[in-house]
Structure 1
């Protein structure tokens, strides 16, 4: 699968939907108008934050995720950009379970942010006033 490399591509995918699993978070977004050699092909990007560990640990997580994508690439939908955010759970998890979770996630990604299922807390519009002491 072609790989995302530019920061702007990662930021574009971050505006799409998210699907969290124990070993990774999958972000996905449909490309507007696929063109050129990569038209109709799924692309993937990998990232692991420093919270996961030092460089050795982060690279190990990325290697496991890359290997899992090679195993599950046939499940990826064409014309969609994916970003895999590695979690610390990817080190301890059984590789087969990572591949199975990734296969299921690639088949049915959330490509748009769904406000009903976002999981974040939203303030009601009337709660804009805060208590103040005079």
Structure 2
């Protein structure tokens, strides 16, 4: 697996599918690469709200190792993933963290629309208003 390094790549992945878990959030976006999709790419981020630098680094290391060991089973070629760490990642058993990662990756792959999977971000259903009914008194 390759790494995401540029801010634009992280921002693009944020527009794709997402799956939240106790210790992290996974964001995924299918790259429009054409015939050769290339290997999956992964980026890791932990905000300063989570804790001080050593805590953030520990969270990043745990997520990186879980992805290295278990993400290759589920990650798809041609997809960019961003793992956003949460403080709870420090308290979770590593086996639970890895199981959550596998489940989150499977969830973001459920909607294979081009331009990116649409995991949890869906448009609300259209609400029909009074202007939708052409008859003034209701049904005929």
Q: TM-score range by the shorter chain?
A: 0.7 to 0.9
Deviation at 1:35, TM superposition (A): 7.2
The Cα RMSD (Å) is 1.9
* Matched-pair contact (CA < 8 Å) for 2:20–2:104: no
The residue that corresponds to 1:109 in the other structure is: 108
Q: Which has the larger radius of gyration?
A: 2
Q: Which runs of 5+ in 1 are unaligned?
A: 117-123, 127-134
TM-score (structure 2 length as normaliser):
0.76
1:2-81 residue pairs with structure 2 within 5 A? 2-33=2-33, 39-72=37-70, 73-81=72-80
Distance 2:8 2:34 in 1: 16
- 1:35–1:3 distance in 2 versus 1, CA, 3 Å: farther
Q: Secondary structure at the match of 1:29?
A: strand
Distance 2:35 2:80 in 1: 13
Distance 2:107 2:57 in 1: 27
Q: How many residues align?
A: 116
